[in-house]
Amino acid sequence: MARQPKITFIGAGSTVFMKNIIGDALQRPALKDAKIALMDINPERLAESEIVAGKLAKTLGSKAEITTHTNQRDALDGADFVVVAFQIGGYEPATVTDFEVPKKYGLRQTIADTLGIGGIMRGLRTVPHLWSICEDMMQVCPEAIMLQYVNPMAINTWAIAEKYPKIKQVGLCHSVQGTAGELARDLDIPYEEIRYRSAGINHMAFFLKFEHRQKDGSYRDLYPDLVRGYREGRFPKPSGWNPRCPNKVRYEMLTRLGYFVTESSEHFAEYTPYFIKEGREDLIEKFGIPLDEYPIRCVEQIAKWKDQAAEYKKADEIKVEQSKEYASSIMNSVWTGEPSVIYGNVRNNGCITSLPANCAAEVPCLVDASGIQPTYVGDLPPQLTALIRTNVNVQELTVAALVNENREHLYHAAMMDPHTAAELDLDQIWSLVDDLLTAHHDWIPEWARTA
């Protein structure tokens, strides 16, 4: 009998996300009877996830062997795939702190999990624990592939590649396929008829091509339709999932750059200096920018997850639908050799020749029995490269701070952030970083703590 793959899930207390990833995997014949190791530091949430995973297996007729662990290395022992999804410090107090302290300086944010002062602090909290996973993987599953779903994705991926270059890893996000679906909806074109190619960095990649397959087999460029629809006021259509997020920022940037970015308008508004500005409430209103969106979303999601988890615990069986996450596709391709293409965050290594070789790039990747193989993109259009570099600067300095245990680089990273630099002077930036380091004292490395 062929050996079954072992899938370890670090942060399995995120019950609903675990349900999506494990549910996807158990629907694939080659993974149906996999060994599933669930790990979390919260025994209560871990127990809830164990119940849900067991019911998933029952619903799908799976013979999956499900184990639970509070010890990370035990969970990783012998793993083939390691799914990582956690948030150090949680919504409270860490996320709340990342919003409330900057507000005292007049610095407003929307999401604060990727770039900016919030992204820097989240990276400082997150990377050391990712490194601890890498250290354990080197000892007990050195050939496993890490499927990393943690923000700040680019900082995390870059930092892992710097300190643990032998770890096989990919950062996974659903922004590329999610945005393609949103645009197909605006255009009233079936998603399966769209062809696209995207490249850049996580949360700031761009569709280099966005086309519609014609009946004769040719493809038509859809960018003129998108620009025309925006200028005529038809696009974007009202949000299909969050009325607070009207998606106007990305359409505006399309008219300025010629390309559509793959992460949401609420994210993109805080990666640039153009939209959130002191005394410019007209911009907030014009582009529908949802300030403090992430804390609001967290409260809603926590309540929703709690209700969903309770329902799952009561149900005899759990309805399972395939999600749009890439994890199960990667596992299936590596395990069976059946090829697939995903968008992954990896060390650039010359894939995008206009960006630094050591940065974390988001590019199309071929996946098969040989693993995850990033594809060559070449130079991006110069305006896209220039804008992306402003974000890479912040990522690079944050990683340098972590790798070299150099607190000064945290100030430098904040200095280089486009939004922070547009709003605060140097003394304010230094003081803000100090205040955040003090507030996050319990969640950050000792070298970063203020005296």
Among 242, 174, 159, smallest CA distance to 205 is for 174
Tokens representing 326 are 């890439």
| Planar angle of CA 88, 268, 423, nearest 5 degrees | 85
The backbone torsions φ and ψ at residue 166, rounded to the nearest 5 degrees and listed phi first, read: -85, -15
Among 68, 21, 15, smallest CA distance to 302 is for 15
Secondary structure of residue 150 in the 3-state scheme: coil
Tokens representing 259 are 């390309």
Catalytic residue, chosen from 129, 174, 212, 267, is 174
Residue type, 60: L
- Report CA-CA distances (Å) from 172 to 53, 296, 302: 22, 24, 22
Do 309 and 13 form a contact (C-beta atoms < 8 A)?
A: no
The Cα–Cα gap between 113 and 122 comes to 6
Residue type, 190: P
Among 90, 92, 89, 68, smallest CA distance to 10 is for 68
DSSP state of 441: G
Tokens 């190791």 belong to residue: 37
Is 174 considered catalytic here? yes
Catalytic positions? 174
